[in-house]
A and B are shown apart, each in its own frame.
Chain A
Amino acid sequence: MSASALLSWGQHPPHPQIPHTCHWRDALPGTLTELARTHGSTLAFGNGRSYGDSCLATSDHVLSLRHLDRFIEADWTRGRLTAESGVTLEDILALAIPRGWFLSVTPGTQLITLGGAIANDVHGKNHHVRGTFGRHVRRFGLLRSQEGRLLCSPDENQQLFAATIGGLGLTGIIEWAEIQLLPIRSSQIHASVTRFEGLTEFFALSDELDRRYEYGVAWIDCAATGRTTGRGVYMAGDFAAEGGLQAARRTNLGVPVTPPISLINSLSLHAFNEVYWRKHPRSQQPRRLGYAPFFYPLDGVRNWNRIYGPKGFQQYQCLIPRDQAESAMHALLSAIASSGTGSFLAVLKRCGDLESPGLLSFPAQGTTLALDFPQSSRLDTELFPRLDTIVREAGGRLYPAKDAHMLGEDFRRAYPAWERLEALRDPALNSRFWTRVTT
């Protein structure tokens, strides 16, 4: 019961969560029982980087695990790390990089917790090579309100292992986890950057570069219309073979207050995107940069979510299966550009065919598009229904970790395993997202 209430990263929907902080693993069972008894149900809360309502408890009382941030075991010869679920990926990297290890899979922010990475089975720029985060989880400790503490791995409690990876925190409290790290010889990235004129070129580049590089992602100009639709900048890279092993310093730069209105509007967006696109080279140019600007450009500005003003924002992230990807992406980008809204932060990424271990994992073979929109009531009534139709017809799906709007029927169609997760859900845990899409 610490001082201030918590919101999700998008600050929408605005349901402040009362945090009940747990500082020691020993205190977890008691706190869980107590919360379930007084408030009906609860939900584990990490570092608050889920965008929509998947991290909001139905009861609005969350079990805050950010202070369960201890390391339990580190095996630097084999690159195996065991830690409590509240450690952030940033904490892990600060320890692992100087010893020659990196996360096998990392999303676009290092400010998420280990527990959150598992519960959302996050993916990153090397999905085509390594699959999702869950593939590198060796085992974890799960606390359930009825059964108590369980050890879950591919060999033990397999059903709960699969249901917990990408299980949105509903199968129990992830107390700790052991992950396999990736060896690196340098913390620098040897990157190749090139701009492209449209989606056809994006897919050609992705074909070529995904074979050559471990990491690849594209920034898309979501304001571009007509012939320029789908233009963007492709960034591919590998860890360099030499150049030192240094964890990046934590930044002090941040957005100190929430401005009264969103600073993102169609005027600022057009101007910014035009300049950004033009400053990148036409042909593939080699570049060397630190891992932090390559993987985590937005982490350089703390609390960047505040630029959208007090109403917050929503992220739309969908996955379109391979065969439909190009035509559906074209339709999505045209619909977004003609709506006049959107944001600078638009990302296109191809996912490979490596299977996700989780029952409800989002990634699958295909292409994923992610972009942010300043919150407005028209989003849910006009633009998102149009986009949802395109995604539905292409057989695609939306990412629960980013979502605050998807229809229950779309969710249940896209994630047919949801009933198996519901059967394994801990009755003491429930989220606003889960209530919304399953009833």
Chain B
Amino acid sequence: MKRILIIGATSAIATACARAWAEQGAHFFLVARNPHTLSQTATDLSARGAAACHTYELDVTRIDDHPAMLSSCLDTLTEIDIALIAHGTLPDQTACEGDAPLAVEEFNLNATATIALLTILATRLEHQKSGTLAVITSVAGDRGRPSNYVYGSAKAAVSTFCEGMRARLFKSGVHLIDIRPGFVATPMTQGLPLPALLVAQADSVAKRILNGIEHRTDVLYAPGFWAWIMLIIRTIPRPVFKRLSL
């Protein structure tokens, strides 16, 4: 029975992963900000076969509250086999450009809070000498684009942080997977004019994530074709890139 901590448990990708784990009878500690949607998610997972679902209300930007959450989680799960960090927002780029406090607030939610969580979780997993940290970043972190560089830079910060931390944790047998989804049909992307052919469903992304965790993949693009798209995008020379309105 897997013992799984999910932060941002009501996000569409996290839910899709959790449903697959629930079928295997996992034991969950679910963390999210909204108590209503959190309890609906927990009920769903219980009905789908989860051995147990504990819920915990947390605003991830309140970094001082993180240790209490972790200790409550450990009281329940004892040890953590998988910690999935899935919270996030898609900032309004244009609004951020004219509003420094907003840009910082968004950055804090998508990067600083994640880095803080990773820091306390890594220490814990290092101590137990097992487990997987799974972090959802984004293909947007691979390159700063004018249309969403607040989001992109936050994800890039987390990805770089992960790369270093992975090497540190490797020595103690703890794995860290950096999951970079492309466009996924979720409430976060609702209303965006996305190219329909590139939009994946949360279910299929989740299947890939579970597989990546199982096989201890380091960096996982989801769906897989994004690895090729991003390879091309990363090779575009800067003088050309700055003239593109991506």
Contacts and interface: CB of A to CB of B under 8 A. Distances in A.
Contacts, number: 42
Interface string B11-22: 010000000000
Interface of B: prevailing SS = helix
A71 B37 contact: no
Contact of B37 (A26, A72, A83): A26
Contacts of B191: 1-2
A4 B187 CA distance: 15
B36 A26 contact: yes
Nearest to A71: B47
Contact of A24 (B37, B49, B185, B199): B37
Interface stretch (B38-46, B136-144, B173-181): B38-46
B44 A72 contact: yes
Contacts of A3: 192-194, 196, 199
B129 interface: no
A73 B43 contact: yes
B78 interface: no
A17 to B, nearest CB: 16
B193 A72 contact: no
A23 B187 contact: yes
Given A2-B190, A23-B187, A26-B36, A72 B47 contact: yes
Contact of B40 (A24, A74, A81, A95): A24
A412 interface: no
Contacts of A73: 43, 47
A21 B47 contact: no
A192 to B, nearest CB: 34
Interface in B52-110: none
Contacts of B192: 3
Contacts of B44: 70-72
A71 B43 contact: yes
B7 to A, nearest CB: 19
A420 interface: no
Contacts of B199: 3
Nearest to B202: A67
A72 B192 CA distance: 30
A39 interface: no
Interface centre among A3, A24, A73, A83 (most CB of B within 10 A): A3
Given A24-B40, A95-B49, 14 more contacts: A3-B192, A3-B194, A3-B196, A4-B196, A23-B187, A24-B36, A25-B40, A26-B37, A70-B41, A72-B40, A72-B44, A74-B47, A81-B47, A95-B47
Closest CB pairs A-B (n = 7): A71-B47, A70-B44, A74-B47, A1-B191, A23-B187, A71-B44, A26-B36
18 contacts: A1-B191, A2-B185, A2-B190, A2-B191, A3-B193, A4-B196, A24-B40, A70-B41, A71-B43, A71-B44, A71-B47, A71-B48, A72-B43, A72-B47, A73-B47, A74-B46, A95-B47, A95-B49
